[in-house]
Structure 1
């Protein structure tokens, strides 16, 4: 039979819901005095608003089988699961949805002593918005193919913001040709690029905006580029073709 949620622990956690959080810097696990070792409570550190993620604890102590683990979040979520046997371990897990953007946490309370470890575990969570691309500008000149984006990413709660790694833009240029397979990729830390293709022709341009965890990919469009050299002879590109070896 399932056990009821520990009332005192729930009140202790809930009292922090009004905590005045500094964006993306809140260490709730330390504030709560809980074990914040992320290897002990598995699950994503960065999650999207409205997404549902799985958080779990694995233990080699099979004495935990049939015991109950209690999960809580800053939003007021409270749920429980029974430890079950999986791959020689006792495992407790819960799928949790995060409706609000901002700093958050997941805590796990195990009302029994686990091989001398604390029965309370914690993981700091950042609930973020996904990167977006709202406008794309594409033009061609003798300098190359110029592409510029209007993009947005979460400047408070994404990994790019929190860990200071910045957003990465990955550009793909694929030549549209039935005879000549030619493509190249470039990476920038800015939402614009001037690419100088080797060959003249029409190119399909695609970009991916990556915030370190989540990404958005969009086809920018097609650009006719007349300034590169003409395609090499087909036999230079595909020398294995039969007619490249047939005598005249």
Structure 2
């Protein structure tokens, strides 16, 4: 990374210290620009939540190619597991600057990690995140992001699966085959969970509060299945 860009990041990190600073680098034509963003986290000394409007504004100035944040007062600059999960979720490179040491590191999404054994992080590593990654990695199908960092299904006022599966290109099927998405209603008034059928009565899913896993598609999940769907690009 060019020193001029690093200096711009460094100035923002210093200005926000001891809070975590956050921002993005955008590619605008043949130039890379660092755009500071507001940290809206409840505990900005230890984490960051980038303001949505700032990110959208940055997207209007160019392609977002890197997410930046700072780690204040750390003995060694090492990305946390949460950093890595969010980086995986974002699909782009991340950069971290420590302060007052001023060290800088970058890391990329883990493209080859196993689908099973992933920690649950609502809005970043959940059932829809797994569905999206599976379709992207296995079939080159890009699905939009419907994950949010709150339990949208509890009151029944939002229906993110029921309202959007058709718009994402899925079609209901009667005979299940590997790669199909199983949509379920688990302890909720609306469809709130989904899994990928792998064949041989095994499904891949990321259930609330648990590690992602390959498990039998047993009676418990069959009784809670609302529909089985297949992406239109996978229809024979």
Question: Going by fraction, where is strand more abundant, 1 or 2?
Answer: 1
Indicate the structure with greater helix content. Answer: 2
TM-score, with structure 2 as normaliser: 0.29
Higher-Rg structure is 1
